[in-house]
Structure 1
Amino acid sequence: MTHPILSISNLNTSFRIGGEWRNVVHDVSFDIGAKETVAVVGESGSGKSVTAMSIMRLLSPGNSRVTGRIDFEGRNLLDLPLDEMQSIRGNRIGMIFQEPMTSLNPVLKIGQQITEVLVHHRGMSNAQAEAEAVRLLEKVRIPSAKSRLNEYPMNFSGGMRQRVVIAIALACDPKLLIADEPTTALDVTIQAQILELIKALQEEEGMSVLFITHDMGVVAEISDRTVVMYRGDAVETGTTREIFAGAKHPYTRALLSAVPQLGSMTGLDRPLRFPQVDMATGDIQPPGPTADTVRRDASPILKVNDLVTRFDIKKGFLRKTVGRIHAVEGVSLQLRQGETLSLVGESGCGKSTTGRSIIRLTDAKSGAIEIDGKNVLGAGKSQLADIRREAQMIFQDPFESLNPRIRIGNAIAEPIVTHGLADAAEAKERVAELLERVGLSASMAGRFPHEFSGGQRQRVCIARALALEPKLIIADESVSALDVSVKAQVINLMLDLQEKYGLGYLFISHDMAVVERISHRVAVMYLGEIVEIGSRQAVFENPQHEYTKRLMAAVPIADPSRRLTRRISNDEIKSPFRPADYVPPKRTYKEAGEGHFVQVA
């Protein structure tokens, strides 16, 4: 039997917190064999990323303590002098992080950042390093590699930036690649491309891979063996097929049960709650069906007709307009009370700009928007304030939405008092009621945002959105940053509130499995335009547009037996930039079924 590339034995990692040592990784042990991919999976706080940082010795020595053994190529990394460890980092062991912009220097050209590694670690001349940099960019499937060496990270899409980070990680032919949530921040199609790329490069280079994720669908796609972590413990280890076929630990079973499965809604005509899963015991409470909440007899709460939003690109001393970003181009839709219409598509497709334009957080160029019969684009300041009482927005990052210096009770009360709906004493009572409504306790009103988990902060944002008793809520990627179990809880909460208060949701997302679960109707956006719109059943069970099919094909499937069966196009999403004199073509649509329309030109 060959020796493992990496062998971890009784790894313990502690942090000094408030003068005391707190152990966050407890006696973790596992091996990674040659050319093998091992996934470490768990939710936030499970210790999986701390395990990776411990392996690389990237934790602050003053505030952390790592014990046990980490044997790599026959040497215990914990015993190595710092200079020897630095020579292994980025050389024998490469690492990819979740957010590529934290790994790339925004003021240095891409070529400089790759050649720097090659000159420093491999002793190449500048000319040799540049030629190798081109080869590396070509290896990670970046088109026109040579011409892109002189571009800055901001000129690359998120998926292409992650490819650059992978190229840098591969620069010194590492024997082990540690990938820490490398696809979490990416769109589903780009995620699929990056997973395919890592698998292909592993075959070509003979690397071993340690892949850290919270997504069991990704685990099924990429790993040979899996280590499940829960609160610092490795609670289950085995081949990925064994774990998916018959998970033994309650937490593993709970993780698998909480994963939304594309296709699980076939034949159903309304949203379905997620099963309630106890992550500690693995107990599963089957979901109950939602009531029919759509008020078809009433006028739509939202009407959007031929909405256009563009951003001018100016250059030169005179700031001449040289082109425009056509972010939203001719979008028309309607939404009734009690209905969820999901806008789906990749980053840059215009879905978030559509949401922001609807409540005039972004200025539209033309079109018509009505919320509860009121003209949004023609409204004055006071009229707009009244309209925004009817339409509230929930954003992706709840921490950025909340002022860290303001207690959450005051944050929720502020719009109530500002709009004159209650005095301070009445607002306090209203805040307590709102917190209870979203599954928090009234006693939490005195806490600051940092004292809540991510899922709790999103509940606070939902409570604040409900404070003005709106009829429409625009949820912009409002659950994409949450762990799978917390995501299920927040979506169930949104469905409960919709059922109780007849809320209309414009649900903006790139997560097709979640969209299938929560939607009454779905609109697919590509390059600022709606290319397909219809009922959830029509779009998911009978997709007509090629882009819709591509989005669905890219969703990770939590089934290791189907690993490597899908091949994803490596085409990058096209740019919405157009010359200043560009005139968009007039689009036409065909009706593929009742209320199901598909763009044909």
Structure 2
Amino acid sequence: MSAETSRPGQAIDPVLSVQNLTTSFLVEGKWKQVVRDISFDVAPGETVAIVGESGSGKSVTSLSIMRLLPQDTSRVEGKVILNGRDLIALPEDKMRQVRGNDVSMIFQEPMTSLNPLFTIGDQISEALLCHNDMSFADARAETIRLLEKVRIPSAASRFDEYPHRFSGGMRQRVMIAMALASRPKLLIADEPTTALDVTIQGQILDLIKMLQEEQGTSVLFITHDMGVVAEIADRTVVMFRGDQVETGATADIFHRGKHHYTRALLSAVPVLGSMKQHDHPLRFPVVDTSTGEAVQPAETPDTVMRDKPVLEVRNLVKRFDIPTGWLGRIGGRVYAVENVSFDLFAGETLSLVGESGCGKSTTGRAIMRLIEPTSGAVTIDGKDILAMNRHEMRQMRKSVQMIFQDPFASLNPRMTVGQAIAEPYLEHKMGTAKQAREVVADLLAKVGLTPDMASRYPHEFSGGQRQRICIARALALEPKVIVADESVSALDVSVKAQVINLMLDLQQSLNLAFLFISHDMAVVERVSHRVAVMYLGEIVEIGPRAAVFNNPQHDYTKRLMAAVPVPDPDRRHEKRPTATEELKSPIRAPDYNAPQRQFREVSSGHLVAV
């Protein structure tokens, strides 16, 4: 029974009661409080969301509840009452029995939570055998039932497969199955959909809601995505810099939020369909993190120079051979990018959208020649990139820079961030070492960091901060074209707003062209002049932003838009049809010939594949 369906005046004992939770970390010999006096309850069958940005303390709160913080460098005070027992006071051996049995946790990145050396069936069975008295055969049967329950297609045949054989969305389903194995009273979900494509995110949210209805599980949902909060939470706890600033029914928080930080968070949330009255990209309201207030935006003027494209892509093809057998015979090919063509003008943002595996990132890398295209033509300012030698490519990369999806992998852990940002500036002899230091300080300030951070190393920053460092590095050479590959997907809502506003400001002042690769349809609608939708390596729809979003024609485009969470708690009980299929495989036989697609013009510049 949920808190919403209980009768007036009926007393319900909460499944979880957190009382004055305070967590401290040992920093340079002193205890520093990072979470202060947090109190909330989770009723049977209820979903409570803890929302806040990186550094707010929401994940530390969940780890404190589970007692997963290192004992020698952390201290947890207060009470965490689960089913009448104070978890803080339990000895460790008793706590191990609680974890996975009475309370389970789904983490943000399933690939780091799953052991790559064991099959997914063995890992779920282990959770069952650890907490239940059953045979291996019974554990296998129950595991298959759980996989079917979380909508894994052909569950029995996938029992013996390893994690790397599953997509990100399917791996997250496996994590949910493992968390639900012992039918816990409470499920803690820590950013379980942040790294997922929008359609997969919608499926996971629907799955959690369905399982909650069937099993009556209470859910504590940790997120920074206000659209997800509106879709799944009965009540919401808002955290800011370790403090609980507001708590209440989700509808009240959204419609009548009292704290200025709550209102600022909501104002910075991109809402699909909010651009119908705007002709050009629109800056986001920016949250002032010192006061929590939001600064309202202004529409960017049209600075697109449509006389001649700065980037032209014609019939771009990239295929990856799949060798089989001892002799390396080609057994198949991944048709990653197939006959992709588009133009990009100075001052314009063209967004490539689609799910993981659609070929959008491969397109960006092929344009940069970070991977060699199979065929096609790519020209920058009329110069053929594919015909350039190594020296010419080095010079070309002053004009085209890329912001990569994984910031940690693209930063050298042995270089300070100041050295990383200055390196391309100095390598291309654009100024002296002193000038480079001034450029680094200016760029760090522009992306929301402080100049003194230049002396720190990448591991000392959060994921969002590392992404801002990568953006600063890409801007160091003052390029004409920036390929932004999921450059804001991992950022909190206000940081995302700041970074995108910075990109729009630079675009306006420098006539920068952006190839914006993303799966976030609400952000794409906000920043784009034109949009190209990719599916299985091909562009299936392309056109002006308003035309594509207001009048989508291709079935896949409609599916992407329908899956976007809407930050409106009044629509929380609406259900989407729960799809279970994964994105179709782009692997084809070696002799496969891709058909030449025909396009129908819906309106001026708006084309859809037929």
Q: State if a TM-score over 0.5 links the two structures.
A: yes
The equivalent residue for 1:473 is: 482
Alpha-carbon separation, structure 2, partners of 1:492 and 1:243: 26
1:285 Cα offset (Å) = 2.3
Shift in alpha-carbon separation, 1:366–1:565, aligned structure 2, 3 A: same
Alpha-carbon separation, structure 1, partners of 2:418 and 2:60: 33
Shift in alpha-carbon separation, 1:116–1:439, aligned structure 2, 3 A: closer
Q: Contact 2:107–2:190 (CA<8 Å) still a contact in 1?
A: yes
1:304 Cα offset (Å) = 0.6
The equivalent residue for 1:375 is: 384
- Of residues 358, 366, 369 in structure 2, which corresponds to 1:357? 366
Q: Contact 2:80–2:86 (CA<8 Å) still a contact in 1?
A: yes
The equivalent residue for 1:56 is: 66
Q: Contact 1:254–1:283 (CA<8 Å) still a contact in 2?
A: yes
1:452 Cα offset (Å) = 5.0
Q: Does 1:35 align with 2:45?
A: yes
Q: Does 1:258 align with 2:250?
A: no
Q: Does 1:527 align with 2:548?
A: no
Query: Unaligned stretches of 5+ in structure 1?
Result: none
AA matched with 1:367: G
Shift in alpha-carbon separation, 1:268–1:316, aligned structure 2, 3 A: same
- Of residues 256, 259, 267 in structure 2, which corresponds to 1:249? 259
Q: Does 1:95 align with 2:105?
A: yes
Alpha-carbon separation, structure 1, partners of 2:347 and 2:178: 49
Alpha-carbon separation, structure 1, partners of 2:14 and 2:445: 52
Alpha-carbon separation, structure 2, partners of 1:433 and 1:71: 49
- Of residues 305, 313, 321 in structure 2, which corresponds to 1:312? 321
1:81 Cα offset (Å) = 2.0
| Secondary structure at the counterpart of residue 167 of structure 1 | helix
The equivalent residue for 1:421 is: 430
1:223-302 alignment, distance < 5 Å: 223-297=233-307, 299-302=308-311
| Secondary structure at the counterpart of residue 566 of structure 2 | coil
Measured against aligned partners, the alpha-carbon deviations of 1:485-518 in whole angstroms (never above 9, x if no partner) come to 0000000000000000000000000111110111
The equivalent residue for 1:68 is: 78
Alpha-carbon separation, structure 1, partners of 2:449 and 2:19: 41
AA matched with 1:391: V
Shift in alpha-carbon separation, 1:302–1:554, aligned structure 2, 3 A: same
Shift in alpha-carbon separation, 1:92–1:408, aligned structure 2, 3 A: closer
The equivalent residue for 1:544 is: 553
Q: Contact 2:369–2:386 (CA<8 Å) still a contact in 1?
A: yes
The equivalent residue for 2:586 is: 576
Which deviates more from structure 2 when the two are superposed, residues 231-240 or residues 144-153? Answer: 231-240
1:165 Cα offset (Å) = 0.6
The equivalent residue for 2:411 is: 402
The equivalent residue for 1:562 is: 571
Measured against aligned partners, the alpha-carbon deviations of 1:82-133 in whole angstroms (never above 9, x if no partner) come to 2211111111111111111111111111111111122221121111111111
1:78 Cα offset (Å) = 1.4
| Secondary structure at the counterpart of residue 399 of structure 1 | coil
Shift in alpha-carbon separation, 1:124–1:437, aligned structure 2, 3 A: closer
Alpha-carbon separation, structure 2, partners of 1:45 and 1:103: 22
Measured against aligned partners, the alpha-carbon deviations of 1:328-353 in whole angstroms (never above 9, x if no partner) come to 11111110010000001111111000
Which deviates more from structure 2 when the two are superposed, residues 461-470 or residues 158-167? Answer: 461-470
Q: Contact 2:281–2:526 (CA<8 Å) still a contact in 1?
A: yes
Which deviates more from structure 2 when the two are superposed, residues 555-564 or residues 393-402? Answer: 393-402
Shift in alpha-carbon separation, 1:430–1:279, aligned structure 2, 3 A: closer
Shift in alpha-carbon separation, 1:24–1:446, aligned structure 2, 3 A: closer
1:77 Cα offset (Å) = 1.1
Shift in alpha-carbon separation, 1:2–1:87, aligned structure 2, 3 A: same
Query: Unaligned stretches of 5+ in structure 2?
Result: 1-10
1:430 Cα offset (Å) = 4.5
Shift in alpha-carbon separation, 1:455–1:146, aligned structure 2, 3 A: closer
Alpha-carbon separation, structure 1, partners of 2:312 and 2:28: 54
What is the total number of aligned residue pairs between the two structures?
A: 599
* TM-score scaled by length of structure 2: 0.95
Alpha-carbon separation, structure 2, partners of 1:42 and 1:24: 14
The equivalent residue for 1:303 is: 312
Q: Contact 2:464–2:490 (CA<8 Å) still a contact in 1?
A: no
Which deviates more from structure 2 when the two are superposed, residues 380-389 or residues 425-434? Answer: 425-434
- Of residues 487, 506, 516 in structure 2, which corresponds to 1:507? 516
Q: Contact 1:250–1:279 (CA<8 Å) still a contact in 2?
A: no
1:470 Cα offset (Å) = 1.4
- Of residues 108, 117, 120 in structure 2, which corresponds to 1:107? 117
Which deviates more from structure 2 when the two are superposed, residues 113-122 or residues 190-199? Answer: 113-122
Q: Contact 1:267–1:537 (CA<8 Å) still a contact in 2?
A: no
Q: Contact 1:273–1:492 (CA<8 Å) still a contact in 2?
A: yes
| Secondary structure at the counterpart of residue 386 of structure 2 | coil
Q: Contact 1:523–1:534 (CA<8 Å) still a contact in 2?
A: yes
The equivalent residue for 2:181 is: 171
Shift in alpha-carbon separation, 1:435–1:15, aligned structure 2, 3 A: closer
Shift in alpha-carbon separation, 1:151–1:35, aligned structure 2, 3 A: same
1:410-489 alignment, distance < 5 Å: 410-432=419-441, 434-435=443-444, 444-450=453-459, 454-489=463-498
Q: Does 1:77 align with 2:87?
A: yes
Shift in alpha-carbon separation, 1:118–1:494, aligned structure 2, 3 A: same
Which deviates more from structure 2 when the two are superposed, residues 332-341 or residues 399-408? Answer: 399-408
Q: Does 1:190 align with 2:220?
A: no
Shift in alpha-carbon separation, 1:73–1:429, aligned structure 2, 3 A: closer
1:277 Cα offset (Å) = 2.5
AA matched with 1:347: S
1:432 Cα offset (Å) = 4.8
1:118-137 alignment, distance < 5 Å: 118-137=128-147
Alpha-carbon separation, structure 1, partners of 2:192 and 2:213: 19
Shift in alpha-carbon separation, 1:568–1:390, aligned structure 2, 3 A: farther
Which deviates more from structure 2 when the two are superposed, residues 398-407 or residues 520-529? Answer: 398-407
Measured against aligned partners, the alpha-carbon deviations of 1:533-580 in whole angstroms (never above 9, x if no partner) come to 000000111111111111111111111101132404413211112222
Which deviates more from structure 2 when the two are superposed, residues 504-513 or residues 86-95? Answer: 86-95
Alpha-carbon separation, structure 2, partners of 1:38 and 1:427: 48
Shift in alpha-carbon separation, 1:367–1:284, aligned structure 2, 3 A: same
1:169 Cα offset (Å) = 0.7
* TM-score scaled by length of structure 1: 0.96
Shift in alpha-carbon separation, 1:368–1:67, aligned structure 2, 3 A: same
Shift in alpha-carbon separation, 1:473–1:564, aligned structure 2, 3 A: same
Shift in alpha-carbon separation, 1:21–1:259, aligned structure 2, 3 A: same
Q: Contact 2:261–2:293 (CA<8 Å) still a contact in 1?
A: no
Cα RMSD for the two superposed structures: 1.7
1:438 Cα offset (Å) = 5.0
Alpha-carbon separation, structure 2, partners of 1:30 and 1:165: 26
Shift in alpha-carbon separation, 1:86–1:433, aligned structure 2, 3 A: closer
Alpha-carbon separation, structure 1, partners of 2:128 and 2:533: 43
Q: Contact 2:446–2:502 (CA<8 Å) still a contact in 1?
A: no
AA matched with 1:520: H
Shift in alpha-carbon separation, 1:282–1:19, aligned structure 2, 3 A: closer
| Secondary structure at the counterpart of residue 115 of structure 1 | helix
Measured against aligned partners, the alpha-carbon deviations of 1:381-423 in whole angstroms (never above 9, x if no partner) come to 1111122111110113333322232233332332233223334
Q: Contact 1:250–1:280 (CA<8 Å) still a contact in 2?
A: no
Alpha-carbon separation, structure 1, partners of 2:448 and 2:134: 59
Q: Does 1:216 align with 2:226?
A: yes
Alpha-carbon separation, structure 2, partners of 1:204 and 1:134: 18
Shift in alpha-carbon separation, 1:335–1:151, aligned structure 2, 3 A: same
Q: Contact 1:314–1:320 (CA<8 Å) still a contact in 2?
A: yes
Which deviates more from structure 2 when the two are superposed, residues 242-251 or residues 425-434? Answer: 425-434
